[in-house]
Structure 1
C-alpha cells in the first residue's frame, strides 16, 4: 500500500456490524413519532386559551414525563451542554419578564421556548443514546422525509404548491406562504411554514445519511431527500447541501491520505477567516452574504439587519426587547430578521444567545472527540452528525428558526451530545474466581 495512505487502527477496521437487540424499541419509536409530527402542516395547529398548540408541542409536553423518568433513574450522564440549555431557557423566562413587565407574557414566551428548545433537546437526549439508536431512527423516518422532500421538488418543478393548499382546504386555515419564483422555479416548501426552513432542515439530513453506515433503500432515499432541499431555492439550503457534501468528501479523504487531516482543515479555515476580516471592508459575514445569496436584494437586507440588529443588541444587552419591534430606519419596512443567533440576543439578551451557542460548540467538540475511540463505522456516523450540526449552525447566520425547524435543531444538538457522551459504567457483578490447585502458578490478570 502507498505510504501516503492512512493506516486505520485495528480496533476501528471492518464494516458495519448488525446492531444487537436492546431491551426496548420504545425510545427510538417515540423519537420517530416526534419527527413525523414536525412534518404536519401548521394549518392543523390550534389556539387554545391564547396558547398556540401544535401536535409536536402536545407530544413534547407528554414526553416530559419520559424525560423526567430518565432523569430520576439517572440513565443519562451529565454533560456541559445540558447546563447551557437549562441556563438559556431560564434566562429566556427572566428576560421575557424584564422586557415586558408581564407575568403572562413571560409565561407565554418562556413556556413556548421551554417546549420547543429545552424539552426537544432533553427528549432527544433521553431517546437517542447510541449510534445504533440513531440508525434505527433514520430507518424509521426515511419514508416521511423522502415524501416531504419529493413534494418540495415537485412544487418547485411544477410551479404550484401541493401540500398546504390541501391542508388549508381541510381546515379552513389560510396558507401563509407567498408565491415566489427564483431561477425559474417555485420555492418549494411542502409542509414547512417557509421555504428556507424546508431547505435547511432537509439539507441537514444529507451528511447523516451519507455517513450513517446504512445500506439499501434507507440510505438511498435519505440521501435523495437531503438533496431535495435545494428545491427550496434558498441559498442557505444550497450551501448546506454543497458544504455538507463537501465536508463528507473531505472526511473520506482523511481516511485515505495521511497529510489530509481535520486539524489542517481547521487551520486553513481560521487563517482564511482572519485574512478576510483584516482585508475586507464588509468582513467575513458581509462577504459570505454578498456572494452566497441567490437574491442580491435579500443579501443587502441581511447586511442591514446585521448592522442595525447589532446596534439594538448593544442598547439592550442583558434582557433584549422581547417581541417588541426593533429600531431601524423607516424605509426598512419589512419585519423579518434572518439571523437566529443575533435575534436570540435581540429578544432575550446576549446571555441567552451565548448559552445556546456554547451548547452547540461544546456538543461538536464532544462528538468529534468521542468519535476517535469508536469503531470506524460508528466514528463515521458521529462525524456525520457533527458535520450536519456544524453546517446547520452556520446556516443560522441567515435563517431564523421557528416551529418544527426550531425543534429539529435542538433535537440535533441533543442527539449530538448523547453520542458524544461516554456511556454510563454499570456495576459488574462480582464472581469469585475458581480455586486453583496449590501446585499451579498464580494467574496474572491482564
Structure 2
C-alpha cells in the first residue's frame, strides 16, 4: 500500500509538487497575469497556492520537526517584510514583502518538505537534469541561428515581448532558452552539474550515459555565454576535483578552506588591489564589466553603512548619474534593501545548514554523493552570487536548492536485516545535532 501511494505521488521518481514547480520556473514572464500591481508568473502561482498548506505541514511536524534553519528563513522573510513596510508604508510593504516571503520561504519549503528521503532527492536530481538536457533541443539551434525558439515562441503564444537584443559572445548567439535572460538560463543549467555528476552518473567515469548527461549540462551552461553560469560551473568543478583527488584524506575540507584563506591573504599582501577586485576581474568577461561591479560594491556597501538596520527597501541607491540602477551582487543587494539582519539570517541559513549536514558521520556512500551534489551546487551559486543578482527564477531556484538538502539533517538510512539480527541499535547513523 505504501509503495502504491508513493508511486501515485511522484513523476519519474520526483514528488509531483516539485515537478510542477520546476516546470513553472522554466516559463518566461509572458506566462503570467497581472493582479493589480502584482505580476503573477507561473511559479508564483504555484507557490501562492502551496504556501499555506506547506506552512501548516511545517508547523505540524508531519514532514519532519521544525529546526533552527526553518526559523532562520522565516526570520529573514519577516525582517525583509519589516524593511519594506518601513520603506513603502503598511499596504505597499505588505504587498511587496508578502510576495517576497512567498518566493523565498515558499521555494525553501518546497524542497524542505517534499524531499524527505534519498529516493526523493535522486528523483528530483534526475528530473532537474532531464529538464536541462531537454532544452538543448531548442537552445543549440538558437545559439547557432540567433532565433530564440522557446522564449519567442512562448511569448508569441501568450502575447509577451520577444527576447531583448544582446550582442553575441565567442561567435555564438547567447541562448535564452525559455527564460528572460541568458544568465537565468545559464545558472539554471549550470546548477544541475553536481547533481548530474554525483547522482545521475554516480561519480563513475565509466558510466558513459551519466557522464554524457553531465557533459550536456556543461554545454547548456556554455551556450548561455554568461560569466555567472561559468563561475557556477567552475566552482563546482573545482571542489569536485578536490574531492576526487583527496577523497580519502581526513581533513581535506579544512585544508581547502585554509588554502582559500592563504590565497586571500597572499593577494591582499602582494597586490595593489583588494582580493575582491582581483576576484571580480577574473570572473567577468570584460574590464568594463569588472569595473562596474567594483563600483557597485563600493557604492552599495556605503549604502549599507548609511542604512544598516532596515536598508532602503525598494528605493533608489546613491550612485553616479551615469551608473545603471542594476546591482549585480545578490549578497550586497540583500543588505542594501533589507538591512544587515536580513543578510545575516540569509547567510546563517546557508552556511549553518551546510555545516550541520556536513558533520553527519557514517552515511552510506550514495548519501555522501547526494550531500556532495547539494553542497557543491550551493557553493557554486554562492560564489557566483557575488557577481550576479539572483532574480525571478534564479531567486526561487536558490532557496529551493537550499531546502533540498534539509532531509540530510535528520533522515536515517534503513538498517540491514543482518545487522538487526546482531542486535545492533536501531540506527547506525545519528541525526545531526542542531546548535
1:408 corresponds to: 397
- Whole-angstrom distance in 1 between the partners of 2:281 and 2:36: 44
- Whole-angstrom distance in 1 between the partners of 2:371 and 2:117: 10
1:284 to 264, 275, 283: 275
**1:304, CA displacement in angstroms?**
0.7
* Alignment TM-score, normalising by the size of structure 1: 0.85
CA deviations on 1:293-331 (whole Å, 9 max, x unpaired) are 112211111111111111111111111111111111112
Rate the CA distance shift 1:226–1:418 in 2: closer, same or farther, 3 A: farther
Q: Does 1:300 align with 2:291?
A: yes
Contact 1:150–1:228 (Cα < 8 Å) also in 2? no
Contact 1:204–1:226 (Cα < 8 Å) also in 2? no
1:380 corresponds to: 369
What 5-or-longer segments of structure 1 have no aligned partner?
A: 1-19, 427-442
Contact 1:149–1:229 (Cα < 8 Å) also in 2? no
Contact 1:230–1:241 (Cα < 8 Å) also in 2? no
Q: Does 1:265 align with 2:271?
A: no
- Whole-angstrom distance in 1 between the partners of 2:424 and 2:113: 37
1:221 corresponds to: 213
| 2:265 aligned counterpart, secondary structure | helix
Q: Does 1:94 align with 2:85?
A: no
**1:403, CA displacement in angstroms?**
1.5
2:63 corresponds to: 75
Contact 1:44–1:54 (Cα < 8 Å) also in 2? yes
How is 1:94-113 mapped onto 2 (pairs within 5 angstroms)?
Answer: 94-100=82-88, 102-113=89-100
Q: Does 1:356 align with 2:346?
A: yes
Contact 2:129–2:195 (Cα < 8 Å) also in 1? no
How is 1:185-224 mapped onto 2 (pairs within 5 angstroms)?
Answer: 185-212=172-199, 214=201, 220-221=212-213, 223-224=215-216
Q: Does 1:311 align with 2:302?
A: yes
| 2:245 aligned counterpart, secondary structure | helix
- Whole-angstrom distance in 2 between the partners of 1:389 and 1:397: 13
CA deviations on 1:158-206 (whole Å, 9 max, x unpaired) are 2332222212222222135332212222221112222112212211110
Range with bigger deviation, 104-113 or 133-142: 133-142
- Whole-angstrom distance in 2 between the partners of 1:236 and 1:364: 22
1:159 to 140, 143, 146: 146
- Whole-angstrom distance in 1 between the partners of 2:239 and 2:75: 32
Range with bigger deviation, 56-65 or 172-181: 172-181
What 5-or-longer segments of structure 2 have no aligned partner?
A: 415-421, 426-435
- Whole-angstrom distance in 2 between the partners of 1:424 and 1:301: 48
| 1:121 aligned counterpart, secondary structure | helix
Contact 2:74–2:105 (Cα < 8 Å) also in 1? yes
CA deviations on 1:360-383 (whole Å, 9 max, x unpaired) are 11121122223x321112111211
1:37 corresponds to: 24
- Whole-angstrom distance in 1 between the partners of 2:120 and 2:399: 17
Give the greater-gyration-radius structure (CA).
1
2:433 corresponds to: none
| 2:34 aligned counterpart, secondary structure | strand
1:52 corresponds to: 39
Range with bigger deviation, 148-157 or 386-395: 148-157
Contact 2:125–2:200 (Cα < 8 Å) also in 1? no
Rate the CA distance shift 1:281–1:92 in 2: closer, same or farther, 3 A: same
Range with bigger deviation, 167-176 or 205-214: 167-176
1:340 corresponds to: 330
**1:392, CA displacement in angstroms?**
0.6
| 2:348 aligned counterpart, secondary structure | helix
| 2:39 aligned counterpart, secondary structure | strand
Q: Does 1:392 align with 2:413?
A: no
What is the Cα-based RMSD across aligned positions, in Å? 2.5
**1:149, CA displacement in angstroms?**
4.2
- Whole-angstrom distance in 1 between the partners of 2:243 and 2:413: 31
Rate the CA distance shift 1:164–1:223 in 2: closer, same or farther, 3 A: same
